[in-house]
Structure 1
């Protein structure tokens, strides 16, 4: 066990991302005995008690993990149970602190988090932001969320958009890249199973190597590519016009734009 104990409270709408966070805490040995997941379906969520309705009492921490468009409906039920000692921790994409403060005016503090799915294995990235959490609370939250991986605090709320459009959405983009690599391995004659494993292990191994060494990506790529060799020939395609930088820029911009659209909808 890690010795960390989750404050008493609720995880309202513990779906894919909420379930990934719970799984990560369980693997890290965090004591979740005081946490209740609120799931209307009553589905089992390993590692945490589940209720179909709000339990009695005033919670210390309330995690919001439902769909962003449900925030008004959920707040109408939850807000009357929120007191001056309750912290709201939201993983709702695009729902800003000001909107949450309007919905939960009595809360001690409002904290936004933008996790990604690898939190389930303690290998995630979770962006954090609050404009009213005191240093002691920030430290407490960092200790809990830090068990899920890298958990930086943003200086500005807009930093969460940058984190979510890169790290939050990033696993989906990396998955697409791995699938594309695997398809090309198949096209070169490898069986599908080997092609998939080849692409996956190449990406995973590169990440592990880079993290362990601290080496920047530019020098790492150069170290792999011999002058005039096959890798360099491939890099010229990725580095050319409409290559990797352009594709990633357009991808991230589309995600950023959609995040701002959701934020605008939550303000209305």
Structure 2
């Protein structure tokens, strides 16, 4: 797994289509616009009525030709309904760049359905909306220049990580893509635990949310690992150590998180198998 930034300042695409604009694709689009990208370069192709930033072109059906880049943001189950709208028409040449956020749909399955010079898989998560997300990327055929361009395009979203092995992309999807959902459950569980011990529910939730936010920010900027930070908080014989003893007993929290990620990974693999058919 390698990280790639925007060191070469490559030129960004001058035209980008978004195929579907649900929660995730919409979060990416809003962040791009908030980060200063010109709304005029974007065209959203969606038969519905998505809420879009000002200046974004919205059409129900694909225009003629190709853009410089196309972000595929429909549900994986819609792939075979959507792809013919773009591939059964002579658009003059190949699509230069297809970026897909479809969970579990492998590069080969995308390449089989779209005639593109390069296919890049993208796994974002919801915090990309505020520039604090993760953008996991994979491509077997994107050269260095194109990787730099894609990295620069993703840079406003948060941490950009290129994955070397597509077989690991299902794990990345479970960790980064689904991870916010798991973290929200942890926040809720912390708040509910404090509520059960007598703290008012609304106050417990505010404090649990702020605790996780501050702890994550500190961990992101610390030289120590999260495990080392936990040990720094826990004085021998103190209250934090007593709580950690519960989480650490028989590796309880590690086993729980591993099982959680394994379940999400299996589901991504099932989606991949379905897309191969």
**Shorter-normalised TM-score: what interval?**
over 0.9
Matched-pair contact (CA < 8 Å) for 2:65–2:92:
no
Equivalent in the alignment of 1:17: 24
- 2:86 corresponds to which of 62, 74, 78: 78
Distance 2:10 2:161 in 1: 22
- 1:216 corresponds to which of 216, 225, 232: 225
Matched-pair contact (CA < 8 Å) for 2:21–2:50:
no
Equivalent in the alignment of 1:50: 58
Give the TM-score of the pair, scaled to structure 1: 0.94
Worse overlay, 207-216 or 194-203: 207-216
Matched-pair contact (CA < 8 Å) for 1:142–1:151:
yes
CA deviation after TM superposition for structure 1 residue 7, in Å: 2.8
Equivalent in the alignment of 1:38: 45
CA deviation string 1:107-137 (max 9, x = no partner): 1111100000000000000110111111111
Matches within 5 A, 1:59-70: 59-70=67-78
CA deviation after TM superposition for structure 1 residue 32, in Å: 3.2
Distance 1:221 1:88 in 2: 42
Residue segments in structure 1 that go unaligned for 5+ positions in a row: none
Distance change (3 Å), C-alpha of 1:127 and 1:245: same
CA deviation after TM superposition for structure 1 residue 55, in Å: 1.9
CA deviation after TM superposition for structure 1 residue 241, in Å: 2.1
SS in 2 for 1:176: helix
SS in 1 for 2:17: strand
Distance 2:222 2:262 in 1: 30
Worse overlay, 226-235 or 39-48: 39-48
Give the TM-score of the pair, scaled to structure 2: 0.91
Equivalent in the alignment of 1:98: 108
Matched-pair contact (CA < 8 Å) for 1:6–1:31:
no
CA deviation after TM superposition for structure 1 residue 234, in Å: 0.8
CA deviation string 1:51-107 (max 9, x = no partner): 111123322111100000111111111123473252111000011011111111x31
Compare relative contact order (CA 8 Å, sep 6+) and give the higher one, 1 or 2. 2
Worse overlay, 209-218 or 61-70: 209-218
Residue segments in structure 2 that go unaligned for 5+ positions in a row: 1-8
Matches within 5 A, 1:104-253: 104=114, 106-241=115-250, 243-253=252-262
Count of aligned pairs: 266
CA RMSD in angstroms, aligned pairs only: 1.7
Matched-pair contact (CA < 8 Å) for 2:11–2:149:
no
